[in-house]
Structure 1
Amino acid sequence: MSPTSLRRWGWIHKWSSLVCTAFMLLLCLTGLPLIYHHEIGHLLGTDVEAPAMPVDTLRGNIDAVLASAKELYPNKMAMYMSQEIDEPAIWNVTLGDHPNDEHYKPIAVDARTTEVITEPAFEGGAFMSTMFRLHVDLFAGLYGKLFLGFMGLLLIVAVVSGAVLYAPFMRKLDFGEVRHERSRVIKWLDLHNLLGIVTLVWVLVVGATGMVNTWADLLLKYWQNTEIAEMLKPYEGQPPATRLASIHEAIVRAERAEPGMKVAFVAFPGTPFTSSHHYGVYMRGEEAFSSRLYKPVLIDAATGEITDRRELPWYLTALLLSQPLHFGDYGGQPMKLLWALLDIGTIIILGSGLYLWFKRSRKARAANQSKPAAHESPALARSTESP
């Protein structure tokens, strides 16, 4: 590689890294507890657990589940019902004042007894809620997500440019060598390069999937304006449903229509994931990856009959597949441990990059200050610097 190309790649690596490093550090620090959000929630007592019962205990009537939740807030409307893949004994019911209420009330109801268990803390309590919002959108909504997506793009550029620079750098050294006999700066440079290569693939995967996740709102809006709009054409001009059919029967019909799949969540009429005429019943598989892929079944909220069902478009499939890859929460504790170790390694890379830049900048400033001014002779400059 020519010296000009090396300088160009060096410039790209330097500035793409500097611009995104502070935000990437924030994302790595907030992402670390999110990897273990279930365990932290259990430790803090914010995780909801269903009472122990025999495994073959039958599921209760889902209309009764909804009624139990609404007894707490009779003036609020149902927005969503959902079940976690690892906790089918609990229905999570969301109630609000209107279909887009951001100050909704989450209620956990036992799916077997149909009795309310608790009102869980949002996102696992104040600490986890803060970590989650900082990691997802910096408390800035869509604009925060898009900004972090751009930082993710710069991270990918920094990683690729760093790999390009690493190849000629390592021609003079053994692969992964850390020169302990040299200065502290050289040792940190070698460690920075070593960890960068070790975590290269992981950082690219997490950076790319994180960037895709920041587009979720835009992709969902596009899907609603295209495929969902097409599914709802027969209902154009009709007034919203006023009397709703049994949600229990609607879910049973969806399960019969999609054998081998389970309900992930139900969107009630008027919410963003359905229309004012339908229950949106979103089904998912039972395997590690298929449990992340939803299939919408639209059910007429007035009659309880299925009106349409289809596979998600490729871009939403890519979005949903990117989420378990980003958080590493589909492979059990070994995967979580690996993700945590790689996250810590990335924190060290980012921190050492800032340290190296600071040292080089200070050295460059010192060198510039020691240079003679253009109108001074070198001898005069040396004489003025002498004690």
Structure 2
Amino acid sequence: MQRSAIKAWFVVHKWTSLVCTLFLLLLCLTGLPLVFGHEIAHLTGADPEVPAAPADATLRDLDAQVATALQHFPGNVPLFVGWDPDAPLMYVNTGARTDTPAPQMQTVLLNTISGEQVPAPQFNEGVMYFLYRLHTDLFLGLPGLLFMGAMGLLFVVAIISGLVLYGPFMRKQRFGTLRTGRSRRLAWLDLHNVIGIVTLGWALVVGLTGAINTLAKPLEQAWQTQQLGEFAAQYAGQPKPTQLASLQAAVATARAAEPEMRPAFVSFPGTGYSGDHHFGVFMQGNSPLTERLYRPVLIDATTGALTAQPQLPTYMTVLLLSQPLHFGDYGKLPLKILWALLDLLTIAVLVSGLYLWFKRGNTATRVAEIERAQTQEVA
């Protein structure tokens, strides 16, 4: 590689790494417990154990369930209803108004058979929620989300530029070479490079999916404006419904429309997910892959009639598939353990990178060092 090209790639790697490293450390440290979020919730009681439902069990009426939830928060309105796919549990999110933001929602967890409330902390409280907000948006909302997404993209550029610089050196040395007999800084550089190569694929996947996930809110808003806006336009000028049709009937209609799928959650009118005049019954598949993909079924909130079954656009499908991949949710506990180990190795890469920066020489010295490493023959 020409000296000018080495210098250019070195400058790119140096500054992209330097800008994003502290934020990447924050993401790695907060992301580690989030990988095991389900297991931690189970151990702390935030995810209560409920015996599996008998196959012939009769589920409690959904309208009665919503009424039970509202008794716990008088004056609130229902916003979302959802189901646990592995237990006879459902949640009812409520709020003071239909556009209540998630951090201000109040949730009731109910047994789908008995209708009894199941004690559980609010989803938007506690240490894990604090770590989640710190990980995703630094408690800054959309600006924080986009900023963290930018840090993720800088991380990807840092990985690619590091690979370009380390690639020629790899052709001259055995994999895993650590030159410990010379200077401490050179040994740290080799350790930084070796661990970086080991975690390369994982870091690219997590960095890219993390950046994609930060676009969730803008992408959802685009989908709501474009696709759901077409159906909402048909109701332009009509007053918002004051008396809603049966939720139980709406879900039954959605089940009949998508018999190969199961309901994941329902959005009430006015929440933004289904317009002001519809229930949005979001159906999901039954396999490990298709359960991540949703198919909305719009039910008229006044008459209970089926209105539409819009297909999710490609960008929403990419978003939905990237979200569980970011936290290793596809492979249950074994994949989560692998994700955690790679997360720890990435922390080592970031810490070693900071050490190298503090022990840095000038750019000309570093470029000469890279040139020597690339021309050094195997002993």
Give TM class, smaller chain. over 0.9
1:249-283 CA distances to partner (integer Å, 9 max, x unpaired)? 10011011101211111111111111111111111
RMSD of the TM alignment (CA)? Answer: 1.6
How far does residue 52 in structure 1 lie from its aligned partner after superposition? 5.1
The answer (yes or no) to whether the contact 2:45–2:120 under 8 Å persists in 1 is: no
SS in 2 for 1:241: coil
The answer (yes or no) to whether the contact 2:277–2:301 under 8 Å persists in 1 is: yes
* C-alpha distance in structure 2 between counterparts of 1:239 and 1:126, whole Å: 39
* C-alpha distance in structure 2 between counterparts of 1:269 and 1:24, whole Å: 39
How far does residue 50 in structure 1 lie from its aligned partner after superposition? 2.4
Identity percentage of aligned residues: 50
Q: Which residue of 2 aligns with 1:97?
A: 96
Please tell me whether residue 115 in structure 1 is matched to residue 116 in structure 2. yes
The answer (yes or no) to whether the contact 1:48–1:108 under 8 Å persists in 2 is: no
Structure 2 matches for 1:1-387, cutoff 5 A? Answer: 1-51=1-51, 53-87=53-87, 89-102=88-101, 103-123=104-124, 125-361=125-361
How far does residue 51 in structure 1 lie from its aligned partner after superposition? 4.3
The answer (yes or no) to whether the contact 1:108–1:120 under 8 Å persists in 2 is: no
How far does residue 223 in structure 1 lie from its aligned partner after superposition? 0.9
SS in 2 for 1:50: coil
Q: Which residue of 2 aligns with 1:374?
A: none
* C-alpha distance in structure 2 between counterparts of 1:324 and 1:311, whole Å: 21
Unaligned stretches of 5+ residues in structure 1: 368-387
The answer (yes or no) to whether the contact 1:48–1:120 under 8 Å persists in 2 is: no
Larger radius of gyration: 1
SS in 1 for 2:280: strand
* C-alpha distance in structure 2 between counterparts of 1:177 and 1:303, whole Å: 71
The answer (yes or no) to whether the contact 1:264–1:283 under 8 Å persists in 2 is: yes
Q: Which residue of 2 aligns with 1:375?
A: none
When normalised by structure 1's length, the TM-score is 0.90
* C-alpha distance in structure 2 between counterparts of 1:299 and 1:50, whole Å: 31
The answer (yes or no) to whether the contact 1:83–1:264 under 8 Å persists in 2 is: yes
How far does residue 179 in structure 1 lie from its aligned partner after superposition? 2.5
* C-alpha distance in structure 2 between counterparts of 1:274 and 1:53, whole Å: 30
Unaligned stretches of 5+ residues in structure 2: 366-379
SS in 2 for 1:78: strand
How far does residue 55 in structure 1 lie from its aligned partner after superposition? 4.5
* C-alpha distance in structure 1 between counterparts of 2:172 and 2:255, whole Å: 63
* C-alpha distance in structure 2 between counterparts of 1:159 and 1:247, whole Å: 49
The answer (yes or no) to whether the contact 2:254–2:306 under 8 Å persists in 1 is: yes
Could you tell me which amino acid in structure 1 is paired with residue 10 of structure 2?
Answer: G
How far does residue 48 in structure 1 lie from its aligned partner after superposition? 2.7
* C-alpha distance in structure 1 between counterparts of 2:56 and 2:49, whole Å: 17
Q: Which residue of 2 aligns with 1:377?
A: none
1:340-376 CA distances to partner (integer Å, 9 max, x unpaired)? 1111111100110001111115xx59x9xxxxxxxxx
The answer (yes or no) to whether the contact 1:107–1:120 under 8 Å persists in 2 is: no
SS in 2 for 1:202: helix
How far does residue 322 in structure 1 lie from its aligned partner after superposition? 0.6
* C-alpha distance in structure 1 between counterparts of 2:54 and 2:234, whole Å: 45
1:165-209 CA distances to partner (integer Å, 9 max, x unpaired)? 011222332122122333322222111111111111111111111
* C-alpha distance in structure 1 between counterparts of 2:301 and 2:350, whole Å: 52
How far does residue 84 in structure 1 lie from its aligned partner after superposition? 2.9
How far does residue 85 in structure 1 lie from its aligned partner after superposition? 2.9
When normalised by structure 2's length, the TM-score is 0.92
SS in 1 for 2:329: coil
The answer (yes or no) to whether the contact 2:232–2:276 under 8 Å persists in 1 is: no
1:31-74 CA distances to partner (integer Å, 9 max, x unpaired)? 00000001111222222332455344232211111111111123
* C-alpha distance in structure 1 between counterparts of 2:34 and 2:187, whole Å: 32
The answer (yes or no) to whether the contact 1:285–1:292 under 8 Å persists in 2 is: yes
The answer (yes or no) to whether the contact 1:80–1:94 under 8 Å persists in 2 is: yes
SS in 1 for 2:238: coil
